[in-house]
């Protein structure tokens, strides 16, 4: 088995991003952009513009929405629905 001991650091793979070795940054940047856009087009926009942070308008000021609080409420609602016997109880 030739090459069975090879370790692939990077390559033409959809699972591994291109490896930056410290040389030829412009070429690597284009490859990384293509790799990220192949996963999701919005990822490259987040790299350029930063992440999208949902906000609440409170007293003419914008405050970031609490992420964990909303997530915990959704999990609690889901657990409550799972305990119901029929969908009739949802009404």
* Domain region containing 44: 1-52
How confident is the model at residue 72, as a pLDDT? 65
Query: For the chain, what's the residue count?
Result: 91
Count of structural domains, the chain: 2
Same domain, 73 and 88: yes
Same domain, 41 and 9: yes
Same domain, 42 and 58: no
pTM over 0.95: no
How confident is the model at residue 25, as a pLDDT? 94
Average pLDDT over residues 12-40: 87
Same domain, 31 and 68: no
Cα dihedral angle (25, 31, 33, 36), rounded to 10 degrees?
Answer: -130
How confident is the model at residue 4, as a pLDDT? 47
Same domain, 33 and 48: yes
- The C-alpha atoms of residue 62 and residue 51 are separated, in whole angstroms, by 16
For residue 10, the 8-state DSSP code is: S
Tens-digit pLDDT profile for residues 41-67: 888 888 888 877 778 888 888 887 776
pLDDT band at 9 (very low <50, low <70, confident <90, very high): low
The C-alpha angle with vertex 36 and arms to 34 and 41, in degrees rounded to 5, equals 95
How confident is the model at residue 59, as a pLDDT? 84
Same domain, 34 and 62: no
């Amino acid at each position: 088995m030739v090459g069975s001991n090879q370790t692939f650091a990077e390559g033409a793979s959809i699972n591994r991003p291109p490896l930056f070795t410290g040389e030829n940054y412009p070429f690597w940047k284009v490859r990384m952009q293509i790799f990220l856009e192949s996963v999701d087009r919005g990822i490259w926009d987040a790299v350029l513009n930063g992440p999208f942070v949902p906000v609440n308008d409170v007293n003419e000021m914008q405050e970031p929405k609490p992420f964990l609080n909303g997530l915990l409420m959704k999990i609690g609602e889901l657990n409550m629905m799972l305990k119901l016997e029929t969908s009739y109880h949802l009404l």
